[in-house]
Chains A and B, each alone.
Chain A
Amino acid sequence: MSTDHDSPYDLLGDDHDDGHRWAFGTGFTDPLEGIDTAVPAGVDRAALARYCLALGDDALIYSHRLQQWVTRMPELEEETAIANIALDLLGQARMLLARAGGILGRTEDQLAFFRDAGDFRNVRLAEHDDRDFAELVGRLLIFSAWRLALFEALEASPDPVLAAIAAKGAKELAYHRDYAARWVVRLGDGTPLSHRRMQDALAAIWPLAGELFQPDADARAAMPPAAVAPAAEPAAAVDAVIDTVLAAGGLDRPGAAPLAGAVGRAGRDGVHTEAMGDILAELQSLARAHPDATW
């Protein structure tokens, strides 16, 4: 390898880590390539697949919503930050859909592009169309705080593949939560206008947050046994994080009731907001117009 460099930046871009130049293209297409994907004995395969599908759908739909902000952000630097977060979530979606698909006998692309809205299991919070930057960061704070708490518990999952995905994702989510928290505090503690808009944003997001803490029967297959029973505990941990951030920003915790589902069914059951159709139309139309195309 040459050590002559015209630019010090080239030097920094050198291979630091045994050939992992992942950012410049890897050539492999299976996100779980080279990993032993056997499901351990005693784990409910169908429930594990449904659970991975739900977490993968959360990430896929949320990532798409963030991608829609690209070119619309108030500052170039923030746009890169949001694009990075969208890419992190897309990476999580790929691995989780591949894990679910491996059990269900479908590829990640088939799951992402050739299912209809009623088959998607994401929470409705992931679908929300942020009206302004305050909603973007408020929603991201709630979502990433919840998902980080969940992934930290899943690091002890009886399924080693899911445990590894969770361990990798937790590092990403910790940054997402930090990014969102900084902006919620900055807007909440900023000018009277930014404070009002941040408070309004939280009020708009709040009804969607209740769904995150609904007990999920499929979690039994994915979670370590100790974490399954007390479903209230992750909620309490997430609440503590959010309350800390709100207090730092001088913001009040909204009291809005959770958004009702249709006859008790919500996002995890395939019942979505009307925004879901538009998201899927944009997300899936190219793949459906040119099935099996490569680029």
Chain B
Amino acid sequence: MTEPQPEREPDPAPVRSEWPLYEVFLRGKRGLNHVHVGSLHAADPQMALHHARDLYTRRNEGVSIWVVAASDITASSPDEKDPFFAPSGDKVYRHPTFYQIPDDVPHM
């Protein structure tokens, strides 16, 4: 059974009902690189940056924030999982695990 959909008036001015999505990346003081922590809605990149400050750095997590519009991210598709990733699954020799790492080499 399909319910009849009410006819919608076309909006006089195209106003988005929701702000676009931005992805947030943070770098902690000790961290080496920015890591993805979540997403948020904002009207523009500057607002996204401020929202990220208010949502994701409340507990002193970060000293640097990146925001990027989610629509600008090109992502691999789950459908391509096998051709993309399966071939590297059995090539253990690509892991640099056959070396002794000196104790004073950090971040390994």
Contact = CB atoms under 8 A, between A and B. Distances in A.
A9 B30 contact: no
Interface stretch (B4-12, B47-55, B93-101): B47-55
A81 B55 CA distance: 8
Interface string A135-159: 0000000000000000000000000
A17 B59 CA distance: 12
Interface in B40-77: 40-43, 46-47, 50-51, 54-55, 58-62
B37 A20 contact: no
Interface string A8-34: 110111101100101110000000000
A84 interface: yes
B29 A80 contact: no
Contacts of A11: 28, 31, 35
A220 interface: no
A67 to B, nearest CB: 16
B35 A23 contact: no
Given A80-B55, A81-B51, A12 B31 contact: yes
A10 to B, nearest CB: 10
B50 A9 contact: no
Contacts of A8: 35-37
A77 B31 contact: no
Interface size class of B (residues with CB under 8 A): 20 to 34
Contacts of B50: 81, 179, 182
Contact of A13 (B40, B54, B59): B59
B59 A77 contact: no
A25 to B, nearest CB: 12
B59 A23 contact: yes
B84 interface: no
A186 B61 CA distance: 29
Contacts of B42: 77
A75 interface: yes
Nearest to B18: A75
A11 B33 CA distance: 12
Contact of B28 (A12, A76, A84, A186): A12
A11 to B, nearest CB: 7
A14 B38 CA distance: 17
A12 B51 contact: no
27 contacts: A8-B37, A9-B35, A11-B31, A11-B35, A12-B26, A12-B28, A12-B31, A12-B35, A12-B37, A13-B61, A16-B28, A16-B29, A23-B58, A23-B59, A24-B59, A75-B19, A77-B42, A77-B51, A77-B54, A77-B55, A80-B54, A81-B50, A81-B54, A84-B58, A182-B47, A182-B50, A186-B43
| Interchain residue pairs A-B with the least CB separation, the first 8 | A8-B35, A23-B59, A12-B61, A77-B51, A16-B29, A81-B54, A12-B28, A80-B54
Given A77-B54, A81-B50, 8 more contacts: A9-B38, A9-B61, A11-B28, A12-B61, A12-B62, A17-B60, A22-B60, A76-B41
